[in-house]
Structure 1
Amino acid sequence: MVLQTLPESALRYSGAQRAEIGAAVYAVSRLWRGMGRDFDGSYARLEPALLAVLFTAQERVADGALAYVPDVLGDAAPEPVYESAGSRFVGVAGDGLPVASMAYGAVIQAKQAVSAGLDVAEALARGGRHLTLASGTLLSDTGRSAEKVSGGAHKVRKWTRMLNPPSCGRCVILAGKTSWQSEAFNRHPGCDCRNVPVSEDTGDDARTDPKAYLDSLSTAEQDRLLGSKANGQAFRDGADMNQLINAYRRAGAVRPAQINGRNIKFTREGTTRRGHAYWQMSQAQYIREQSVFKDGSKYKRLKAPRLMPETIYSTAKDPADAKRLLKLYGWIV
């Protein structure tokens, strides 16, 4: 299969949308700093300006997204089967609720913080963080919604997911994923990844190639993105980035424990019969002898804990032994 680099128009669009969203989030954050001790009273005074910023940014982001799809398709773009306008995307958040309700959520967060015992300054800081994250997510969702509408108008069938660096681990392992026009965009709060309409796999650019993106980072950046210095070293020693990142996909999935007086870190991710680590770990006699148990669900799971790279490196005799253990516990695929 012939690979293609990302179109220059996609990169320009990504940068323009990031700048637009960043400017709006900064403006919202500045307005929030005008909040006082009377949460509802002070918010009522700043709400018109705050919503004006968000509505203007929504329309600009949507207009950019609507123009982006025919631009990136170039000469291959068919005549649109319908027209749309950025103004149609204004006032509604990605979950279908009014933007005004989303923005007021910051006040609710601040009130809840006070009820939990925080002082006013700390409560407003928490509300401000909620507002900036929600605003960024709102505008990214607005752009993606407009992309899909424009894609439908121009008969786009498939999209490739593109990173908008710097990116988190959850986004990195999805880079380059191809989805159909009808599929929802898998994102988390604050995600700013973009979609590229393509007819072929886009695989030779770091923004759509997870490993290429990780390889482009410094050692410190790899460690941060993968969760720890040990995880970063495991990646450089051949561990699969998907295994490392997915170990953290559930809250509390990575846990400390003490076995025979030794502190360890382990995870249960990948240890059901459907997981890669289950089959790798089952090759070891001492683990096989522990058999399996039903973890309150229909899936059987290994009794033995899946050691995290941090514990593996602290117990390995030498680098060769570390790699052997990384493979045994399913980190090296």
Structure 2
Amino acid sequence: MSLQTLPEAASRYAVEQRYEIGAAVHAVSRLWRGMRDDFDASYARVEPALLAVLFTAQERVADGALAYVPDVLGDPPAPLYESAGSRFVGVAGDGLPVASMAYGAVVQAKAAVAQGLDVAEALARGGRHLTLTAGTMLSDTGRAAEKVSGGAHRVRKWTRMLNPPSCGRCVILAGKTSWQSEAFDRHPGCDCRNVPASEDTGEDARTDPKAYLDGLSEDEQERVLGSKANGQAFRDGADMNQLINAYRRKGAVRAAQINGQGIKYTREGTTRRGHAYWQMSQAQYIREQSVFRDGTKYYRLKAPRLMPETIYKTAKDPADAKRLLKLYGWIV
């Protein structure tokens, strides 16, 4: 997997930002370990140092982002305005105070106790919440500073760049181009970056989803795509977008028993607007089951869309597996 076609400044920036954010998250996690069973009292002792870490990291991440844009552009004209990393301190990506975001970990811990977890388990849940939201907040800070610096340097469009290792949801968005005014599409924990669109050659694995997946080991492909069967399906020609989007809604992949045999299936892609609907409709036995209204304006197939795991279990041979992968809309 070659990572040499993006500007060196973009590669260096991604590494530096990951280091800054990782160091801050590690420090926050260490401070959280000072929490005790008196949640509010112990948090009052921890909070000053914890916020100092987050505020310092915000400023450093923002300063790095502000310097990155003119660096990656090479020799841009004088900026329309100046900014400073200190202006991005204290506010999270949703516009709420960072202090409120951090205290959310205490709220999570209290909720866990109310659900019957012991103190250690509750604090562990609160700690996971804190590290996830802290990492997301710092990535948001960097992206906000990138956009501010982009506006100052007249950048009109951006290309989304992976910051490996990346999850499936991020992989299928790699290389997506957006306007300066568009919000960055991200999930909690996302650390993808932006590159001024004119500076991306389109050949780097971090902005080419298929190139990124092709460059991974089989184990890593299976991690990104959700299962060993999905990894095999990808290597057999399945579309990565179909595989990853099968999981985009909580509970979208389900288990069932049909004729005494366990299967895994999804409803994703089975409405009339979905690719799987048209592929599956070619089979007579599926067409005979007709469609139903799913409580919304959409009609979808009654027949379940078998997941690759079930397809490989039931296929007679590799050729039959590929036939079924295509029938159920995994191979486009």
Gap change, CA 1:200 and 1:20, over 3 Å in 2: closer
Q: Deviations over 1:123-161 (max 9, x none)?
A: 111111111111100100000000000001111001000
For 1:280 and 1:161, how far apart are their aligned partners in 2? 31
Q: Is contact 1:176-1:202 (8 Å) kept?
A: no
Give the match for residue 23 of structure 1: 23
For 1:64 and 1:172, how far apart are their aligned partners in 2? 24
Kindly state the Cα deviation for residue 200 of structure 1 after the two structures are TM-superposed.
6.2
Alignment of 1:190-269 (within 5 A): 190-199=189-198, 202-269=201-268
Amino acid in the other structure paired with 1:240: D
For 2:200 and 2:22, how far apart are their aligned partners in 1? 30
Amino acid in the other structure paired with 2:212: Y
Alignment of 1:314-333 (within 5 A): 314-333=313-332
Q: Is contact 1:254-1:266 (8 Å) kept?
A: yes
Kindly state the Cα deviation for residue 250 of structure 1 after the two structures are TM-superposed.
0.2
Q: Deviations over 1:6-59 (max 9, x none)?
A: 111000000000000000001111111111111111110111110000000000
Provide the TM-score with structure 1 as the length reference: 0.97
Give the match for residue 74 of structure 1: 74
Kindly state the Cα deviation for residue 201 of structure 1 after the two structures are TM-superposed.
5.4
Alignment of 1:39-50 (within 5 A): 39-50=39-50
The answer to whether 1:84 aligns with 2:116 is no
Secondary structure of the 1:207 match is helix
Q: Is contact 2:6-2:200 (8 Å) kept?
A: no
Q: Report sequence identity in percent.
A: 88
Alignment of 1:1-333 (within 5 A): 5-75=5-75, 77-199=76-198, 202-333=201-332
Moved beyond 4 Å, runs of 4+: none
For 2:145 and 2:13, how far apart are their aligned partners in 1? 13
Q: Is contact 1:161-1:208 (8 Å) kept?
A: yes
Kindly state the Cα deviation for residue 272 of structure 1 after the two structures are TM-superposed.
0.4
Gap change, CA 1:143 and 1:235, over 3 Å in 2: same
Amino acid in the other structure paired with 1:69: V
Kindly state the Cα deviation for residue 274 of structure 1 after the two structures are TM-superposed.
0.5
| Count of aligned pairs between the two proteins | 329
Q: What is the root-mean-square deviation of aligned Cα atoms in Å?
A: 1.0
Secondary structure of the 2:185 match is coil
Task: Point out where structure 1 has 5 or more consecutive residues left out of the alignment.
Answer: none
For 2:145 and 2:186, how far apart are their aligned partners in 1? 16
Amino acid in the other structure paired with 1:183: E
Q: Is contact 2:7-2:199 (8 Å) kept?
A: no
For 1:44 and 1:139, how far apart are their aligned partners in 2? 22
For 1:310 and 1:206, how far apart are their aligned partners in 2? 28
Amino acid in the other structure paired with 1:302: L
Q: Is contact 2:73-2:199 (8 Å) kept?
A: no
For 1:60 and 1:293, how far apart are their aligned partners in 2? 54
Provide the TM-score with structure 2 as the length reference: 0.98
Q: Deviations over 1:154-175 (max 9, x none)?
A: 1100100000000000000000
Amino acid in the other structure paired with 2:192: C
Kindly state the Cα deviation for residue 198 of structure 1 after the two structures are TM-superposed.
2.1
Secondary structure of the 1:293 match is strand
For 2:35 and 2:302, how far apart are their aligned partners in 1? 52
Kindly state the Cα deviation for residue 290 of structure 1 after the two structures are TM-superposed.
1.5
